[in-house]
Structure 1
Amino acid sequence: MKIWNCKTWRDFPIQQHPVYENQEELLLVEQQLRELPPLVFAKESRSLQDLLALASKGKAFLLQGGDCAESFLHFNAVRIRDFFKVIIQMSAILTFAGSCPVIKVGRIAGQFAKPRTSEIETYNGIDFPSYRGDIINDMELDLEKRKPDAKRMLSAYHQSASTLNLLRAFAKGGLADLKEVHQWNLDFVKNNDFGKQYEKLADKITQTLGFMEACGINPQNTPLLKEVDFYTSHEALLLHYEESMVRKDSLSGGYYDCSAHMLWVGERTRAINEAHIEFLRGIKNPVGVKIGANITKDEILKICDILNPNNEAGRLSFIVRMGAKNIEKIFPKLLESLLKEGREIVWSCDPMHGNTIKANNGYKTRDFQSILSEVRSFFAIHKSYGSYAGGVHLEMTGDNVTECIGGSQEITESRLACNYNTQCDPRLNAVQSIELAFLIADLLKDRKID
Structure 2
Amino acid sequence: MSALSTVRSAPAPAPAPAAAPEAGWPSPQAVTEVSARLRALPPLVALGDCLELRRRLAEVAAGGAHLIQGGDCAELFAEVSAHTTRRKAAQLRELAGLLEDGTGRPALAVGRIAGQFAKPRSQPVESGPLGESLPVYRGDAVNGFAPTAEARTPDPGRLLTAYELASDIHRYLAAETESAGRRVWTSHEALLLDYELPLARTLGDQHYGSSGHLLWIGERTRQPDGRHVRALAALANPVAVKLGPATTAADVAELVARLDPERAPGRLSFVLRCGADLVEQVLPGLVRAAADAGARPVWICDPMHGNTERSADGRKTRRMTRVAAEIRSFVRVLRRLGEHPGGVHLELTPDDVTECVAGPGDTPGAARYWTACDPRLNPAQARFATAVFIEEAR
Q: TM-score, normalised by structure 2?
A: 0.93
How much has 1:368 moved relative to structure 2? 0.8
Do the aligned residues in 2 keep the contact of 1:401 with 1:419 (CA within 8 Å)? yes
Do the aligned residues in 2 keep the contact of 1:16 with 1:115 (CA within 8 Å)? no
Distance 2:19 2:341 in 1: 32
* Correspondent of 2:188 among 234, 240, 243: 234
Instruction: Provide the residue aligned with 1:188 in structure 2.
Output: none
Structure 1 residues 347 and 308, CA, compared in 2 at 3 Å: closer, same or farther? same
Distance 1:370 1:297 in 2: 25
Do the aligned residues in 1 keep the contact of 2:110 with 2:187 (CA within 8 Å)? yes
Distance 1:367 1:320 in 2: 18
Instruction: Provide the residue aligned with 1:137 in structure 2.
Output: 143
Aligned residue pair count: 384
Q: Does structure 1 residue 149 correspond to structure 2 residue 155?
A: yes
Q: Does structure 1 residue 169 correspond to structure 2 residue 169?
A: no
* Correspondent of 1:435 among 384, 389, 392: 384
Alignment of 1:10-409 (within 5 A): 10=16, 16-123=21-128, 124-173=130-179, 176=180, 227-250=181-204, 253-406=205-358
Compare 143-152 and 73-82 and name the one that shifted more. 73-82
Cα distance per residue 1:58-92 (max 9 Å; x no partner)? 11112111111000122233322221111111111
Distance 1:118 1:95 in 2: 40
Q: Does structure 1 residue 444 correspond to structure 2 residue 390?
A: no
Distance 1:325 1:240 in 2: 36
Cα distance per residue 1:271-312 (max 9 Å; x no partner)? 122211111110110001100111111111011111111111
How much has 1:351 moved relative to structure 2? 0.5
Distance 1:14 1:159 in 2: 24
Distance 2:80 2:113 in 1: 11
How much has 1:337 moved relative to structure 2? 4.4
Compare 38-47 and 334-343 and name the one that shifted more. 334-343
> What secondary structure, in the 3-state scheme, does the structure 2 residue paired with 1:128 have?
strand
Compare 119-128 and 356-365 and name the one that shifted more. 119-128
Distance 1:380 1:282 in 2: 34
Do the aligned residues in 2 keep the contact of 1:79 with 1:399 (CA within 8 Å)? no
Do the aligned residues in 1 keep the contact of 2:19 with 2:25 (CA within 8 Å)? no
How much has 1:96 moved relative to structure 2? 1.2
How much has 1:97 moved relative to structure 2? 1.7
How much has 1:15 moved relative to structure 2? 6.2
> What secondary structure, in the 3-state scheme, does the structure 1 residue paired with 2:108 have?
strand
Instruction: Using the aligned pairs only, state the percent identity.
Output: 37
How much has 1:6 moved relative to structure 2? 4.8
Q: Residue 143 of structure 2 aligns to which amino acid in structure 1?
A: N
Distance 1:87 1:316 in 2: 22
Relative contact order: is structure 1 or structure 2 higher (C-alpha 8 Å, sep ≥ 6)?
Answer: 1
Structure 1 residues 231 and 331, CA, compared in 2 at 3 Å: closer, same or farther? same
Q: Residue 406 of structure 1 aligns to which amino acid in structure 2?
A: A
> What secondary structure, in the 3-state scheme, does the structure 2 residue paired with 1:386 have?
coil
How much has 1:47 moved relative to structure 2? 0.4
Distance 1:9 1:375 in 2: 40
Cα distance per residue 1:90-116 (max 9 Å; x no partner)? 111111121211111100000001000
Q: Residue 232 of structure 1 aligns to which amino acid in structure 2?
A: T
Distance 2:285 2:141 in 1: 39
Do the aligned residues in 1 keep the contact of 2:245 with 2:273 (CA within 8 Å)? yes
How much has 1:5 moved relative to structure 2? 5.5
How much has 1:38 moved relative to structure 2? 0.7
Structure 1 residues 129 and 109, CA, compared in 2 at 3 Å: closer, same or farther? same
Compare 91-100 and 365-374 and name the one that shifted more. 91-100
Distance 1:385 1:8 in 2: 41
Q: TM-score, normalised by structure 1?
A: 0.82
Q: Residue 362 of structure 2 aligns to which amino acid in structure 1?
A: T
Structure possessing the higher radius of gyration over alpha carbons: 1
Structure 1 residues 31 and 334, CA, compared in 2 at 3 Å: closer, same or farther? closer
Distance 2:178 2:234 in 1: 32
Cα distance per residue 1:125-164 (max 9 Å; x no partner)? 2000111100001111111221111110111111111111
Deviating runs (4+, > 6 A) in structure 1? none
* Correspondent of 1:416 among 360, 365, 370: 365
Cα distance per residue 1:28-49 (max 9 Å; x no partner)? 2111111111110000000000
Q: Residue 108 of structure 1 aligns to which amino acid in structure 2?
A: I
Distance 1:234 1:431 in 2: 24
Distance 1:122 1:313 in 2: 46
Do the aligned residues in 2 keep the contact of 1:368 with 1:405 (CA within 8 Å)? yes
